[in-house]
């Protein structure tokens, strides 16, 4: 070994290069990898999709993923529309609709076509050829290596042959035709179409960013989570509803009570019972016992959209009131237990005066709209503590939550793929906002034995969330409840969550939830620039992408704020918000040509889509073209590749210089 060069390279570098040499043991392999990675740098950037505030609306979310936010239809029109030169492949509008539905829902669509007697060798042949052509179109930005990795292994070799076909002399046409004919002749057509459709959908989304709030009002957050876990490239920025469920999964009682109450509020107990196996019987029996004669249940009747309620509405009202009172007792206790969080002003239930039937809110006495509060009887030493019966209910629910394998699986996925924020390609992704003073300086927040502001606050919270999830001490898990509703929580952004007031106090002024300075200055380019500086971003090209606050398009609001520096992508996936937003969700895409904001109209149902070819109608509302086309070399992935190339070049030099000996087979 050349000792002098070893000293020049450095001992640490040599140790690293020797490890790298185990993967690339010859000069030829290192050279080939350098060529490969340099080539990848010069491919166009793949398409990132940004979605937020799904709020459990599984069918609409699932369809947006399956149609790749309308991209598949656009590519199908490009390939087979009126301008298609091949008359055999050209499709009418009805044909395009049917073909796209086949890609979105191949199993159901093949079943429909079979029932109509339309599946024959001719149909299969042309459908397979069109799918191959479309797969080639949606994957053209990717390297052959990446495409191979994205193919279903069952038909990987066959699809590669058809995707990468070359026929310079015209003597391989029979070869390609025979591949398709054999697929049909062997009865493999259905399976081939199903798997190839999944491949097309995969190539339509290079990376998926979910900017918070998977959970809440809709009836399928557990199904959304299953769908997300199947994605090949995904990151999640936690929303306060996601943090609530992570807290519930690890046993925080206030989070559990909140999660159960919200499911009852929106008649979605199937999430608990069918999705996560939570036993609601103890709560049901308790509610039937304690609230059987309650005359004041109108405010607790579930908010039902168009679904059939999971159980009797009056029973759900009794259960909702029972768990709400338990929740408020638990929250009062959490406020007292954590005075450093600055929430002692939210101790409301403990101010209840039975003689006057009033509570104290912000220094003012307010009458309650119900006097039926049987578990606030004064027999206990602390009349505002849980009664023995209430304690049995919440501990039973805790046992169900922490023993649910499915919920634990989803919570761990949220922790593994999730974070408080993400920086990618000079875009900052945060679900809600950052605590600020009125002068737009970052506001210190006291918790975890310190005070933190700006980026350090989010980093500290991220670490504390992970620590608290695994902490055996129940009190350490109060951070999840605080992040759900705390006045300085970066995931909430309001001065209070007025759930108690909305239930029990008729005066509307008590219902108001005030936004902090971050939201009050949403249109301020100066605020955006301060955030970019805090996170080390280039303010000339950076974007802050967030959700949390629905954009009310019907009132003339815009998702594009602060001169285009801030983009809010909460557009009402949740049916409960659609009357306010006038939309049914949106997707922000970022490809090699720039950014597009795509608005979605309401989705009907999978059954309607299959029977009638109904698609989500999407409209391009905003486009920010890049000054120059963006290649992988211009992205974060490109920066990593360039670092890897530099290491490979060092290894190549070490091989050629004799510092490391190649391993010859």
606 contacts 108 by C-beta, under 8 angstroms: yes
Q: Is 613 left (phi over 0), alpha (psi -120 to 50) or beta?
A: left
- Statement to judge: residues 324 and 415 lie in one domain: yes
Last residue within a domain, chosen from 179, 204, 229: 204
Helix crossing, 454-470 with 478-485: angle to 10°? 140
**pLDDT for the residue 469:** 95
- Statement to judge: residues 68 and 163 lie in one domain: yes
The string of DSSP codes covering 469-526 is HH-S-GGGGHHHHHHHH-TT-TTT-BS---HHHHHH---GGGG---B-HHHHTTT-HH
The string of DSSP codes covering 385-401 is SPPHHHHHHHHHHHHHH
- Statement to judge: residues 129 and 15 lie in one domain: no
* CA atoms lying within 13 Å on the CB side of residue 603: 27
Angstrom distances, CA of residue 519 to CA of 238, 490, 512, 570: 18, 11, 15, 14
pTM to 2 decimals?
0.92
Token pair listed for 448? 């975890």
- Residues 6 or more apart whose Cβ sits within 8 Å of residue 83: none
Chunk the chain into consecutive blocks of 10 residues (it has 665) and report each block's average pLDDT, rounded to whole numbers.
49 87 92 94 94 92 90 92 89 92 94 94 94 92 88 90 69 78 93 95 95 92 96 96 97 97 93 96 97 94 70 92 97 91 89 92 94 79 86 97 97 98 97 95 88 96 95 85 95 94 96 93 95 96 93 85 93 78 85 90 79 72 84 95 95 90 71
Per-residue b/e over 219-250, b at no fewer than 16 CB within 10 Å? bbbbbbbbbbeeeeebbbbbbbbbbbbbbbbb
Among 656, 595, 596, smallest CA distance to 620 is for 596
Burial class of 85 by CB neighbour count within 10 A (0 to 12, 13 to 18, 19+): exposed
| Domain assignment of residue 26, given as a range | 3-43+635-657
536 found inside a domain? no
Using only C-alpha atoms, what is the Rg of the chain?
A: 29
- Residues 6 or more apart whose Cβ sits within 8 Å of residue 169: none
The single residue listed with the structure tokens 């599946």 is 119
Give the model confidence (pLDDT) of 383-416 as tens digits: 789 999 999 999 999 999 999 999 999 999 999 9
554 found inside a domain? no
- Statement to judge: residues 25 and 134 lie in one domain: no
Last residue within a domain, chosen from 476, 499, 522: 499
Greatest Cα pair distance, the chain, in angstroms, is 96
- Statement to judge: residues 341 and 379 lie in one domain: yes
560 found inside a domain? no
55 contacts 241 by C-beta, under 8 angstroms: yes
586 found inside a domain? no
DSSP symbol at 280: -
210 found inside a domain? no
- Statement to judge: residues 319 and 397 lie in one domain: yes
550 found inside a domain? no
Last residue within a domain, chosen from 499, 524, 552: 499
- Statement to judge: residues 338 and 477 lie in one domain: yes
What sign for the dihedral angle of Cα 108, 153, 205, 131? negative
568 found inside a domain? no
- Residues 6 or more apart whose Cβ sits within 8 Å of residue 241: 55, 212, 213, 214, 215, 216, 484
Among 25, 22, 31, smallest CA distance to 664 is for 25
- Statement to judge: residues 332 and 280 lie in one domain: yes
625 found inside a domain? no
Domain total in the chain: 3
Neighbours of 561 (CB within 10 A): 21
- Statement to judge: residues 349 and 454 lie in one domain: yes
Phi, psi of 601 (to 5 degrees): -90, 165
205 contacts 68 by C-beta, under 8 angstroms: yes
- Statement to judge: residues 395 and 299 lie in one domain: yes
Distance CA 578, CA 61 (A): 14
Strands 421-424 and 618-625: unpaired
Among 658, 592, 636, 665, smallest CA distance to 141 is for 592
- Statement to judge: residues 349 and 387 lie in one domain: yes
- Statement to judge: residues 231 and 301 lie in one domain: yes
DSSP symbol at 447: E
First to last CA, the chain: 21
């Amino acid at each position: 070994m050349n000792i002098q060069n070893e000293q020049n390279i450095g001992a640490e570098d040599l140790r690293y290069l020797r490890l790298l040499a185990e993967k690339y043991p010859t000069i030829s392999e290192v050279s080939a990898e350098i060529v490969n990675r340099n080539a990848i740098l010069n491919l166009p950037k793949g398409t990132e999709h940004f979605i937020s505030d799904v709020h459990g609306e599984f069918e609409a979310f699932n369809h947006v993923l399956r149609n790749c936010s309308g991209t598949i239809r656009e590519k199908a029109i490009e390939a087979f529309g009126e301008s298609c030169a091949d008359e055999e492949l050209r499709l009418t509008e009805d044909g395009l609709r049917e073909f796209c539905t086949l890609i979105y829902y191949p199993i159901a669509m093949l079943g429909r076509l079979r029932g109509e007697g339309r599946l024959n060798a001719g149909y299969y042949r042309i459908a397979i050829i069109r799918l191959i052509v479309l797969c080639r179109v949606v994957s053209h930005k990717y390297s052959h290596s990446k495409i191979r990795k994205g193919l279903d292994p069952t038909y990987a070799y066959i699809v590669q042959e058809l995707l990468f076909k070359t026929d310079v002399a015209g003597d391989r046409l029979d070869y390609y035709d025979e591949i398709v004919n054999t697929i049909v002749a062997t009865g493999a057509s259905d399976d081939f179409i199903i798997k190839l459709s999944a491949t097309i959908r995969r190539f339509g989304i290079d990376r998926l960013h979910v900017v918070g709030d998977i959970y809440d009002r809709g009836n399928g957050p557990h199904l959304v989570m299953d769908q997300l876990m199947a994605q090949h490239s995904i990151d999640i920025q936690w929303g306060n509803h996601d943090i609530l469920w992570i807290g519930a999964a690890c046993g925080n009682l206030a989070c559990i009570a909140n999660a159960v109450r919200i499911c009852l509020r929106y008649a979605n107990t199937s999430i608990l019972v069918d999705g996560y196996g939570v036993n609601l019987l103890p709560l049901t029996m308790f509610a039937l016992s304690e609230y059987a004669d309650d005359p004041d249940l109108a405010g607790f009747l579930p908010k039902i959209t168009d679904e059939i309620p999971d159980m009797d509405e009056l029973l759900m009202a009794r259960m909702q009131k029972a768990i709400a009172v338990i929740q408020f007792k638990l929250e009062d206790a959490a406020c007292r237990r954590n005075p450093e969080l600055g929430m002692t002003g939210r101790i409301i239930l403990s101010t209840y005066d039975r003689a006057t039937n009033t509570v104290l809110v912000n220094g003012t006495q307010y009458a309650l709209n119900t006097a039926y509060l049987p578990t606030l009887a004064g027999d206990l030493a602390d009349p505002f503590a849980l009664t023995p019966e209430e304690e049995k209910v919440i501990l039973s629910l805790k046992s169900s939550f922490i023993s649910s394998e499915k919920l634990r699986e989803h919570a761990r996925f949220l922790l593994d793929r999730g974070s408080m924020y993400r920086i990618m390609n000079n875009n900052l992704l945060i679900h809600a906002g950052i605590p600020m003073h009125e002068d737009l300086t970052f506001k210190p927040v006291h918790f975890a034995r310190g005070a933190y502001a700006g980026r350090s606050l989010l980093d500290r919270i991220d670490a504390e969330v992970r620590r608290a999830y695994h902490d055996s001490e129940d009190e350490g898990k109060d951070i999840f409840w605080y992040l759900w509703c705390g006045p300085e929580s970066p995931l909430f952004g309001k001065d209070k969550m007025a759930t108690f007031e909305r239930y029990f106090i008729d005066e509307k002024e008590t219902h108001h939830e005030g936004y902090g300075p971050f939201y009050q200055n949403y249109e301020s380019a100066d605020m955006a620039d301060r955030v970019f500086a805090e996170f080390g971003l280039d303010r000339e090209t950076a974007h802050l992408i967030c959700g949390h606050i629905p954009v009310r398009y019907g009132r003339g609001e815009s998702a594009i704020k602060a001169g285009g520096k801030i983009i809010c992508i909460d557009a009402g996936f949740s049916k409960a918000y659609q009357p306010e937003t006038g939309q049914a969700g949106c997707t922000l895409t970022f490809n090699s040509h720039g950014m597009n904001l795509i608005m979605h109209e309401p989705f009907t149902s999978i059954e309607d889509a299959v029977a009638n070819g109904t698609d989500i109608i999407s409209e391009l509302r905003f486009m920010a073209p890049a000054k120059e086309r963006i290649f992988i070399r211009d992205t974060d992935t490109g920066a990593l590749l360039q670092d890897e190339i530099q290491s490979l070049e060092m290894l190549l030099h070490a091989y050629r210089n004799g510092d490391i000996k190649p391993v010859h087979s």
